[in-house]
Structure 1
Amino acid sequence: MADNSSVLTVSIVTPDGKVYERESADLVVVKTKSGQLGIMPNHVPVIASLEVDIAKVEYGENTDEIAVNGGFIEFSNNNVSIIADSAEKQEDIDVERANKARERAQRRIEEARQKHDDATLRRSQIALQRAINRINISKH
């Protein structure tokens, strides 16, 4: 059994509930608003806003990849908590649904550009980013 001071406990939750949990991780890598952040056991405490991107959880020779769509990460006492707007484990991603979401977002972006609707354009760009993130993670 691993020494508690040399492993991470990782939890990813959304408003809909817990999406992921691992009690013995070696490394967590996420993309924050300031850039990429890697957390290993005994890292200094941190709180950071997350970008729409992949969260990687490494343990032994394995890596779990989770599509994280915004939110924030908090780390202290070897506990990593990711509170995300939404998140999906790689094996739970419905690729067909993600492709449809990508196509829908691309259509809405074009419509918003033609109408000079900045609010709809920004929302559609975020939707496109989320769909592409999910598609990319499903291919790993």
Structure 2
Amino acid sequence: MSSFVVNIVTPDGIIFDHHAKFLVANTVAGSLGILPNHAPLISPLQIDAVRIDLDEEDNKNSEWVAVNGGIIEIRDNVVSIIANSAETEENIDVSRAKYAKQRAEEKIELARQKQDETIDMDRAEIALHRAINRLNVANKRR
């Protein structure tokens, strides 16, 4: 079966670089499934998990990566994801993600009760979404 290259890059460096046979990502326009020889495309990404079905030569069937925004570019059998931040499932610190989720929920609650006018509700909701995304990907570990 043919494959394509998947690169996920953040400001901290390369997070993921492997051959794959299928990839699913959520863009702002909806869910996107990618097979080899996909048409060229560039699209902004949602904060969500990216599922990568690895080439059959690899031991595992699928990899999951928590991607926190960015863009996806598909060109010449190379899928490049440039993200603000991203973590593979084995690199997620679950306790840190749980703490981030708790902090975000507390900030949102304080803002809703109007006990703290300095809280940026949009920022707190994005932090909550990122923490939940990281926890969801961490829970996919086998």
Distance in structure 2 (CA, Å) of the matches to 1:18 and 1:50: 17
Equivalent residue for 1:16, pick from 12, 18, 24: 12
Given that 2:4 and 2:79 are in contact with CA atoms closer than 8 Å, whether structure 1 keeps it comes out as yes
Counterpart CA distance in 2 for 1:118 and 1:47 is 36
Match of 1:139 in 2: 139
What's the counterpart of residue 50 of structure 1?
A: 45
Residue 36 of structure 1 is matched in structure 2 by 31
CA distance in 2, matches of 1:97, 1:119: 21
Report the counterpart of residue 107 of structure 2 in structure 1: 108
CA distance in 1, matches of 2:12, 2:31: 26
2:97 is equivalent to residue 98 of structure 1:
yes
- Residue 58 to residue 110, structure 1, CA distance change in 2 (3 Å): same
Q: Unaligned stretches of 5+ in structure 1?
A: none
| Pair 118,82 (structure 1): closer, same or farther in 2 beyond 3 Å | farther
- Letter of the structure 2 residue corresponding to residue 63 of structure 1: S
Larger proportion of helix: 1
Offset at residue 96 of structure 1 (A): 0.2
1:42-68 residue CA offsets vs partner (Å, 9 max, x unmatched): 110000110010011102361000000
Deviation at 1:114, TM superposition (A): 2.7
Give me the whole-angstrom Cα distance separating, in 1, the residues matched to 2:46 and 2:118: 20
Deviation at 1:122, TM superposition (A): 0.6
TM, length-normalised to structure 1: 0.91
TM-superposition CA deviations, 1:68-126 (whole Å, max 9, x none): 00001000000000000100000000000000000000011112223385971110000
Q: Percent identity?
A: 47
Question: What is the aligned-residue RMSD (CA, Å)?
Answer: 1.6
Cα distance in 2 for partners of 1:12, 1:133 equals 16
Residue identity matched to 1:130: R
**Structure 2: 5+ residue stretches without partners:** none
In structure 2, the CA distance between the partners of 1:119 and 1:80, relative to structure 1 (3 Å rule), is farther
Q: Distance in 1 between matches of 2:88 and 2:81?
A: 13
